[in-house]
Structure 1
Amino acid sequence: MSLERSIPPVLRPLVRAYVLGYASSTIPRLLSLLLTHLIRKRKNNDKKKPNSLLSSAGSILLKGLDPQRFPTFCAALIGGSTLIEARDNSFPETSRIPRLARLLSSFIAAWFSLELLQSKKSDVFLGTIPYDTPNGVKHKATRYAGRTIDLTLFAVTRAVDVVVGELWSRHRIRRTVAGKWSKFEQAISSLADTAIFASSSALIMWAFIYVPERLPQSYNKWITQAAQVDQRLLVALRHLKAGTIQYGTDCYDEAAFLRNMCKDYGWPLHYADPIKSVPFPCEMVHMGRGGQSCELHALIRFVQTSILCLSTYVPLNIALVIRNPTRQSLIYAMKSSARSSAFIGAFTALYYYGVCLGRTRLGPRILGTSHPARQTLDSGICIGTGCAICGWTILLEHEGRRKDIGLWVAPRALATILPRRYALEEQWKETLAFAISTAVVFMCVGEQPKRVRGVFGKLLNQVLYQ
């Protein structure tokens, strides 16, 4: 705190933003590096030189100082919006001029700070396009946009939440004053965050199965680890949807990877034969857990995933209260860990059980058991069933966390229906969307800070005004 007092008040938001951005971009990578190092060391498989850990850590710390990375973006966004905001005490607080100045300064800062991030070139967004010449078709290098799409969708989601929340609040006040506020409207208010998470989860899990390239690589990897799924099962589902594997048809070559899966798990080889096995047994979906029982498999998934999550949540929640530990805070930390672990465990279990419901339990009772019906069930309906029901397990979480989790996954869900790479000349549209959304959010933080919900709203208020 003494160090912060030595900084001029006008520069404090900028410094806070830079420090927060630097910490958020380096600490997770350092922890991941340390965890990987410990795992390798435990397995006696660490062939790196003794100083490799320090070298890698130093590289992470230095990359965070790159002026085209996230910390500088945070400083430019927060600092710019406060430094160039016109402040004139001659205007009364009710005047629109300070409000417009705040809105304009936030818009300008958001526009140029995002352009700062977009200016950094990445090989992922480089490609070639064909063009005709007198000597035939040739290719030239081109750069695509989309590097900041996740950040933009986060801002857009938050701005929409602010606007819709304000409109709904005014609607509620009018209806309550008139004595017409109904139970249906109350239910909408109570379930809004749950519905946001459930629908977002459905889009994300559908993309994870069929179009994983639409998800960020790190997010895709995290889901794979949490789901503990054999990649060959995902390939089989994609083949069934594409029609390259069809029930009742000889697909010997296409099903070769399924025969290898049968060998690895000790199943009969006819499990992988789309002529003899219509449909493929649910035991293949279970991947060695619970045998042929879909219910036992779901229970095992719940227990295993919950225990796995506990090993992450317990140390994290205890670390948050370790500076001032009390019996009550420790009990709360354990309860919070158990609740969050149960939520993730139930999410995983219900997703898998939903797949089984769609393909063998409930689906055949509706569509029948013919080969075309089985093909239809396994080419999308079974996955859709799992996607539709798994997200409602968010009801196990504390009500206060539902809004944070819902607003965290919503931008990722939107990203699955938008291209992750697009023409560079269209980038101004993304920049405009980000600038408008950021201006709306910052404006709301300045005038109605409670309207920007969750941890993000509190954090933004602290960075900007405290």
Structure 2
Amino acid sequence: MQPKKKNLLSEWVAHSRLPPSLQPALITAIKAYGLTWTLTTAPVLLGLFVKTLTAKSPTSTKRVFLDCQRVVHQSLTQNGLPFLLAGALASHRFLSYLLNHLVARASHPSVEKNKIRVSQRSAIFLSAAVTMLSVKKVFPNTKTTDLTFFALVRALDVFAHRAYESNRVRQHVPHWILDYGSVGVFTIACTEIMFSWFYEPNRLPKSYANWITKMADMNPKLLELLRAVREKRWQYGKDTDLCDPLRGRIPCRAVHPGDTCETNGLRRFGKGFFKIFPLYFFIHLAPPLLLRPSQVAQAPLQNMVHVLKASVRSSAFLASFITIIWYSVCLVRTRIGHQVLGVRQSILDDTLAPFVGSALCGLSLLIETRHRRGEMALYVVPRALYSFTERVVGPHQRGRWWESLGAGVAETLVFALSAMVVLDAMYKDKTHIRSSVRGLLSWIMKDELQALKTEHTNGKTNGKSNGKINGKSNGMTNGKIDVK
């Protein structure tokens, strides 16, 4: 059997002066840096090209080249995320090598060197913490909160997988909670996200809040009106130049003119479905084309049908999400709250109607498959944590000197602990990590994982060989003794 050919990166690292045990870690660091740099820089360059092509006035080639050069230079000198991910995934190998070497040199000659080793978890935690602190120091403008929340959520998901497989947990927790836990998590997260979007969108990442506004297709002035009602800047029964407050309420037809509440819900479903379908079609089509092209070529029709079904299901999920939140608001503020129960309109518009809509829209996740439910829940939870942190911590911030220090230390601890949990799971049991992240980390850490597998296999082989040799030697010795 012929050995596999090394790629250019592996060949280049093999010719370096690094010890063989550290070469796979260097490949991991290079891959992590390159991937993160590409993901953070390519969208900016692409947006620059699109802006240039769609500009009304022609832009000179020299100007485009200078703009691209500026973007690349800023990404290399001011973007700390590639260094953060590379250090978190690979630097623990270098730290372990250094510490083990120092400890072995400082230890007494009578102590076996193999018994003095820095644990893998400790090395991952320390290296991730040092990397985060270094990035914050060298790249102060780099926003690391999103990556920290992402790592935290993935670490919690590892614990969730372990709990799901635990017999003790299954004995005490109802089966339906374990099966539909992702729907519950998604619903809670969406409640926080959508309620913040209604009243305090500054608590959400700006791009994410803008995307929600675009998909909701809601007049920004109406959102401002709801926020004014909640903040008591606009009250029913007082003369203002907004609508006609003397009538005591804003009718739903002011929000969706020409439609009843039910017709508006159906129209929103269709509009949302066809708007998001191309995106979901690409999301479901790209992975098999890029990762499994041979399988797609063998059964193209079957794979296309599968992609279409998955795209329709995902589009129906998001369309239902939009419809539920729209119709729930109408149902609470008009159909039930106003027409049936006669609740004061200021209460309905102040909190109740948007809150009910925010709480119920997450149930649309039931349309998705079980696997997709978990992925969608993990997608929205970091955004919800971002909003929740702003909600809890924001009112207490006074610009005191220790606030930024405390926030930095807390984020460093959370990131380091999360990285420790995720990487430890990658080394010991990858099934506890979702397939999307597992596949990405497996590609980044491919050489390192293969080296560990080879080392483990060689260790087992040597153990068996030594056992056989010792057994034969003992048998021969015992035989001689018996003969004598």
Q: Give the structure-1-normalised TM-score.
A: 0.78
352-361 or 417-426, which deviates more: 417-426
Match of 1:210 in 2: 199
1:193 and 1:406 in contact (8 A); partners too = yes
Distance 1:12 1:393, change over 3 A: same
* Paired letter, 2:223: L
Instruction: State the 1:450 CA deviation.
Output: 1.2
Q: Cα 1:316–1:167, aligned 2, differ >3 Å: closer, same or farther?
A: closer
The residue that corresponds to 1:3 in the other structure is 8
- The 3 A distance-change label for structure 1 pair 10 and 248 is closer
Please identify, of 228-237 and 27-36, the stretch whose mean Cα deviation from structure 2 is larger: 27-36
| Counterpart in the other structure of 1:396 | 367
Aligned-partner SS, 2:323:
helix
CA contact (8 A) 1:197 1:410 kept: yes
Per-residue CA deviation, residues 368-426 of structure 1 (Å, 9 max, x unaligned), is 24xxx111001111101110111111122222111111112111101112138762221
1:29 aligns with 2:44: yes
1:72 aligns with 2:89: no
Q: State the distance in 2 between where 1:96 and 1:450 align.
A: 30
* Shift in CA distance, 338/34, structure 1 to aligned 2, threshold 3 Å: farther
State the aligned residue count: 401
Could you tell which deviates more after superposition, 387-396 or 5-14?
5-14
1:27 shift after superposition: 2.9
| Aligned-partner residue type, residue 27 of structure 1 | A
Partner SS, residue 229 of structure 1: coil
1:84 is paired with a residue whose SS is: helix
What corresponds to 2:405 in structure 1? 425
Using the alignment, how far apart are the partners of 2:52 and 2:285 within structure 1? 23
Task: Return the match for 2:337 from 363, 366, 373.
Answer: 363
Conserved? CA contact 1:357–1:385, under 8 Å: no
Residues 1:113 and 2:128 aligned together: no
User: How far apart, CA to CA, are the structure 2 residues paired with 1:392 and 1:168?
Assistant: 22
Larger CA Rg, structure 1 vs 2: 2
Q: Does 1:455 align with 2:436?
A: yes
Superimposed CA distance per residue, residues 139-196 of structure 1 (whole angstroms, 9 cap, x where no aligned partner): xxxxxxx9422222222222222224323432xx2476xxx57xx7211111111111
- 1:114 is displaced (CA, Å) by 1.7
What secondary structure does 1:65 align onto?
A: helix
Judge conservation of contact 1:302–1:349 (CA < 8 Å) in 2. Answer: yes
Change (3 A) 1:47 1:398: farther
Q: 1:337 aligns with which of 293, 308, 311?
A: 311
Superposition pairs of residues 293-304 of structure 1, within 5 angstroms: 293-304=260-271
Q: Percentage identity across aligned positions?
A: 28
Q: Is the 2:41–2:72 contact (alpha carbons within 8 Å) kept by the matching residues of 1?
A: yes
| Offset, 1:337 | 2.1
Whole-Å separation in 2 of the counterparts to 1:205 and 1:51: 44
Of 104, 116, 121, the residue aligned with 1:103 is: 121
Q: Secondary structure of 1:66's partner?
A: helix
> 1:58 deviation in Å?
4.0
Q: 1:375 corresponds to which residue?
A: 346
Please, which of 5, 12, 18 is the counterpart of residue 33 of structure 2? 18
Aligned AA (2:373):
R
Which letter does structure 2 place at the counterpart of 1:61?
Answer: V
Is the contact between residue 404 and residue 454 of structure 1 (CA under 8 Å) also seen in structure 2? no
Match of 2:254 among 284, 291, 296: 284
Mapped partners of 1:20, 1:322: distance in 2: 19
Identify the residue that residue 386 of structure 1 maps to in structure 2: 357
1:434 to 405, 415, 433: 415
C-alpha contact 2:317 2:365 (8 A) present in aligned 1: yes
**Which amino acid is 2:133 matched to?**
E
Matches of 1:328 and 1:345 in 2, distance apart?
26
In the other structure, the counterpart of 1:159 is: 155
In the other structure, the counterpart of 1:236 is 225
Alpha-carbon distance in 1 for matches of 2:47, 2:310: 23
> What RMSD in Å do the two structures reach over aligned CA positions?
2.8
The two structures have a TM-score, normalised by structure 2, of: 0.75
Post-superposition, which runs of at least 4 consecutive aligned residues in structure 1 deviate over 6 A? Answer: 95-98
Partners in 2 of 1:2 and 1:344 — Cα distance?
A: 42
